[in-house]
Amino acid sequence: MSNNQYRYPGIFPFASSQSHLFFGRDKDILNVYRLISREPLTVIYGKSGLGKSSLINAGLIPKIAEDKTHQPFIIRFGAWTEDKTETLLSTIKNLLVRAIREESVFISKLLPEDNSLWFHAKRLQVQKGESLLLIFDQFEEIFSYPKEQIVEFEQELAELLYTTLPLRYRRKIDASDATGLLTEEEEDLLEKSLVPKVLFSIRSDRLHLIDRFKDYFPSILNNCYELNALTIEDAKTAITYPARLEGDFITSPFEYSGAVIEKLLDFLSDQQEQRVEGILIQMLCDHYEKSEVEKKKLRKLELTHIGDPTKVIKNYYEQRINALSEENQLAARDLIEQGLVSEGEGMRLTLHEAFILNKYHIAKPLLEQLVDSRLLRAEPFIRGGYSYELAHDRLVPPVVSARDHRKEREAEQARKEAEIQMRKQAELDRQEKEKVNKQLRQVRVLSGFLTIALVLAGHFWWQANQKTTLAKNAEKMAIEQSKEADEQRAKAEENLHKLQLKNFKANEDRLRDIRRFNKDNPLPEGLLVEMLEISTTHPDSSRLMGRMLELKEQYNLSFQ
């Protein structure tokens, strides 16, 4: 045993190599195969996520390969963008050229420049004896392309389906210069009908767009098949049959108990339509195989092993998000939890990639990563590019739960940060209060000193004021005494002056006597002046009288 694969593909579509694991769609495979066999053009439609791609890959391709009449080619255009270099037709033709490498010499001899779909289909028929089956998966993407490309696609596809031999080839064969160019056998091959087949697979909500092809394909909607979710019985088959298979699997064959099957179907089924979507079956069964059967080596799953299926889907969301880089995790959560699920009613929303890039700053690589992980579904936008939505309605509750939990964490974090900030602020307030209190204490001490200083200053001021008053009083008294002294001095001077005048008058009389006496005994003039000055400055005439006595003795004067 090589143990190289699991029994359930999980979230990914079934590949052709997994056809032996593809259960529950036998009726659908047969019905679509019959439609393809009956008409050249078939349309299969259904809601997104119901498994159209899995039906084609693991159901139709193996079934068609059994009869070996047609060689299938699965084609996906992808949404149109302005920088896209491949056209609708070149996408198909390049695929055919890579698959059919041998040259068909006699066809190329006729019209070497021809590169039509009809030409490539004829090459396939001539070389391999098989007709062409073109399967256009997610055909809704074509409507995002420019109109001229769609018209060219319609023209060549119509020629492929409805023309046995194009007129340009017939004219070339009938031309005179083409005589002997082909053998009879080659001419028979050229005239042989191609019997090509075309299958369009499209979302049911885009089915109305198919009506645009009626100009070239008037009966395009006459051969349609709607793919629905699995019935309860088919869902049960899809759950149980892969588990029982022998072969090269990582796990040994195992069983689901009846109670487990009942619980899973009850959880998975739509209660109104009683149908189950295959992607949910694969998601849950893949989880149980890996987490329970493989790890615990179980041979039978019981209720105790499966737990709550809701948690599996929730864990799936969290696991896919956590598998991203830390930088991308936050961006992906913002987009999915805030942008793709509405608040309140919790509905899936659709956003165009341009809006996502502008608002959430998520570029194409991360979007493709989310699509590959089956968290998102990319849908072609009619005017170019892709719009994105949550891959399934069942992912809405986990997303809402994660969003609510995230808000709670953010609120708790905000509360903690607010508490930290409040504590910091409280500490700052405490420090500020302590600082203020310290300043108040200093102010109080200073105020006490100032009060004492003011009291002392008041006391000293009072004393100074008293001294000033005393000084002023003393000054006033001194002024008054000075005035009084001045008055007394003035009075004394006045009295002295009067006395001087009186004495002077008396002296004048004496001087006259002297002069009269001197007529006979002349005295020096200077002596007379001296005596006059003495008589003037010394009103009491004591000096004068003394001097005169001295003169009397000196000059032997004879006056009284």
> What is the full DSSP assignment across 208-265?
GGGGGGTTT-TTTTSSEEE--PEEHHHHHHHHHHHHH--SS-SS---EE-HHHHHHHH
pLDDT computed for residue 559 by the predictor: 47
Q: Give SS3 for 469.
A: helix
Distance CA 242, CA 254 (A): 9
Per residue in 502-533, is it b (16+ CB within 10 Å) or e — as a string? ebbeebeebbeebeeebeeeebeeeeeeebbe
> Which two structure tokens, joined as six digits, stand for 486?
């001045």
Distance CA 59, CA 57 (A): 6
pTM of the full predicted structure?
A: 0.70
Q: Give SS3 for 207.
A: helix
Helices 88-99 & 147-162, crossing angle to 10 degrees? Answer: 50
End-to-end CA, the chain = 186
pLDDT computed for residue 78 by the predictor: 87
Show pLDDT as tens, one digit a residue, over the chain (560 residues): 345 899 999 888 899 999 999 999 999 999 999 999 999 999 999 988 889 999 999 999 999 999 888 999 999 998 888 888 899 999 999 999 888 776 667 888 888 889 999 999 998 898 888 899 999 999 999 998 999 999 999 999 999 999 999 999 888 888 766 667 788 888 888 889 999 999 999 999 899 999 999 999 999 999 999 999 999 999 999 999 999 999 999 999 999 999 999 999 999 988 788 899 888 899 899 999 999 999 999 999 999 999 899 888 888 889 889 999 988 999 999 999 999 998 877 788 999 989 999 999 998 899 999 988 888 988 878 777 888 998 887 788 888 888 888 888 888 888 888 889 888 888 888 888 888 778 777 767 766 665 675 666 566 666 766 766 776 776 677 677 767 767 777 776 677 667 656 665 665 666 666 556 555 555 565 665 566 555 555 555 566 566 666 666 665 555 44
pLDDT computed for residue 305 by the predictor: 93
pLDDT computed for residue 182 by the predictor: 81
pLDDT computed for residue 455 by the predictor: 66
